[in-house]
């Protein structure tokens, strides 16, 4: 969604060619403006395997950089790049394709400050061996991100928190915070009504991403039982593609938990139409959580940890934030049962989402970037 909003915003000023290493991703608009041309190469992504991890170590690059490495694509980019006055690199993994000797303006889009995410993961993982490997990978990513940030003309982060981390990592970098998060069309949809919702707790997210797996697993093991004992009729619906086996096992052990898997947009809208509250129980991670912003834009109350709300709101601004995952039951039960609190969070969330992630906020933050790159 951040990529899509950036493309649309930049297309007001520039003609844009979008080159996709793989097939068109969810971040590239399917109905792009006339000034945007999309080229899909369809090269495969290498697997997340022990062998590829070892090969990445031999080449002294982070695993995800190696997984996205393709010599044919690199040659295509190197051949075409000189005709463009600017190259925008989307994600740090794509920085490897910026040709050496390119003299135009360069922009790195940091959806997350990636090394920070891995360092947070190392702080909560239980296995000493995995913790050691995660810390080592975090160091590799840190060096790679630092080099990328120092090399480009400018970098764009999606939150002020991430922008500050990026500045600390690479002191010479020009880093801008541009809130390219959320589906702004949701602000035009009628908000839900408490009386028309069901006692359904909704979780939406990619279920193969470690911060989501970890947070949801802990929620199922430590929180859901407490909620059920106080409100036996409540149900948890988990939506997302590629559910990890840890989530499936934990869900199977708990009553009133339904793993929906990947849904069509129509099916997803049906889930949102009955849900009373959304949850975001991350213990670590980076960047602004798109699903949280989208829920708030809908007017659906969200109960979340501080990590999940980073770059969105703090406890002084939004009443749905629990101190930790273990503190979520009391907040969640209040939102599920108290109509007045529910309506307050619905209005708070929508107002904050529009103020911080609406079109006006995006263009206000992006204008200085465009001005700097035009000089």
| Residue 105 pLDDT | 95
For residue 321, give the DSSP letter. B
- Is the domain of 170 the same as that of 188? no
Digit-coded pLDDT (tens) for 11-44: 888 999 999 998 755 455 556 677 899 999 999 9
* pLDDT tens, residue by residue, 67-102: 999 999 999 999 999 999 999 999 999 999 999 999
In 3D, which of 100, 88, 92, 94 has the Cα closest to residue 154? 88
What is the rounded average pLDDT of the residues 282-304?
93
* Backbone dihedral region for residue 219 (phi beyond 0: left; psi -120 to 50: alpha; all else: beta): alpha
Q: For residue 73, what are the domain limits?
A: 2-179+358-373
CA angle 116–27–89, rounded 5-degree value: 60
Say whether both 222 and 148 belong to one domain. no
Q: Which residues, including other chains, have CB under 8 Å from residue 201's CB and lie 6 or more apart? A: 227, 234, 235, 236, 237, 275, 276, 277, 278, 279, 332, 336
pLDDT value, residue 17: 95
Do residues 353 and 365 share a domain? Answer: no
Task: Please state, in angstroms and as integers, the Cα–Cα distance from residue 256 to each residue in 5, 196, 232, 268, 291, following that order.
Answer: 37, 20, 9, 19, 22
Same domain, 120 and 253: no
Count up the domains in the chain and report the number. 2
Same domain, 118 and 196: no
> What CATH number has the domain bearing residue 105?
3.40.50.2000
Cβ neighbours of residue 103 closer than 8 Å, sequence gap 6 or more:
none
Residue 6 has pLDDT above 60, yes or no: yes
b (16+ CB within 10 A) / e for 190-221? eebeeeebebbbbbbbebebebbbbbbbbbbe
SS3 4: helix
110 has pLDDT over 80: yes
The answer to whether residues 62 and 23 belong to one domain is yes
- My answer on whether 22 and 152 are in the same domain is yes
Q: Average pLDDT for residues 127-136, to the nearest whole number?
A: 94
The whole-angstrom separation of Cα 190 and Cα 212 is 29
Write the burial class of residue 80 (CB in 10 Å: 0-12 exposed, 13-18 middle, 19+ buried): middle
My answer on whether 224 and 195 are in the same domain is: yes
d(CA 130, CA 120): 13
Instruction: Judge if 119 and 267 occupy the same domain.
Output: no
Which tokens go with 298?
């809908």
Radius of gyration of the chain (CA): 21
Paired strand residues for 20: 40
Average pLDDT, the chain: 93
Are both 258 and 146 inside the same structural domain?
no
Task: Assess whether 256 and 121 both reside in one domain.
Answer: no
pTM of the model: 0.81
For residues 41 and 119, state if they share a domain: yes
């Amino acid at each position: 969604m951040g990529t899509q909003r950036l493309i649309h915003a930049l297309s007001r000023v520039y003609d844009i060619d979008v080159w996709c290493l793989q097939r068109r991703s969810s971040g590239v608009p399917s109905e792009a403006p006339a000034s945007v041309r999309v080229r899909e190469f369809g090269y495969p992504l290498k697997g997340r395997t022990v062998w590829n991890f070892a090969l990445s170590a031999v080449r002294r690059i982070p695993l995800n950089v190696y997984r996205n490495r393709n010599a044919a694509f690199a040659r295509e980019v190197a051949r075409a790049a000189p005709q463009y006055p600017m190259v925008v690199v989307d994600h740090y993994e794509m920085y490897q394709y910026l040709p050496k000797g390119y003299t135009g303006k360069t922009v790195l889009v940091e959806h997350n400050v990636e090394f920070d995410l891995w360092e947070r993961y190392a702080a909560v993982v239980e296995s000493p061996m995995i913790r050691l490997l995660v810390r080592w990978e975090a160091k590799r990513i840190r060096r790679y991100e630092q080099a990328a940030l120092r090399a480009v003309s400018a970098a764009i982060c999606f939150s002020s928190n991430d922008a500050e981390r990026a500045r600390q990592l690479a002191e010479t970098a020009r880093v801008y915070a541009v809130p390219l998060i959320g589906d702004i069309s949701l602000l035009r949809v009628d908000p839900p009504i408490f009386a028309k919702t069901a006692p359904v707790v909704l979780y939406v997210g990619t279920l193969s991403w470690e911060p989501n797996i970890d947070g949801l697993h802990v929620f199922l093991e430590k929180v859901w039982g407490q909620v059920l004992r106080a409100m036996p009729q409540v149900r948890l619906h988990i939506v997302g593609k590629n559910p990890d086996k840890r989530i499936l096992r934990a869900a199977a052990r708990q009553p009133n938990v339904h793993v929906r898997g990947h849904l069509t947009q129509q099916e997803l809208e049906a889930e949102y139409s009955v849900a009373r509250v959304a949850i975001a129980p991350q213990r670590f991670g980076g960047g602004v959580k798109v699903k949280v912003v989208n829920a708030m834009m809908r007017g659906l109350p969200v109960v979340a940890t501080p990590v999940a709300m980073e770059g969105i709101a703090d406890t002084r601004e939004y009443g749905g934030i629990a101190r930790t995952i273990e503190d979520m039951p009391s907040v969640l039960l209040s939102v599920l049962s108290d109509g007045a609190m529910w309506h307050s969070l619905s209005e708070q969330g929508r107002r904050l989402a529009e103020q911080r992630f609406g079109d006006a906020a995006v263009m206000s933050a992006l204008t200085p970037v465009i001005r700097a790159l035009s000089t």
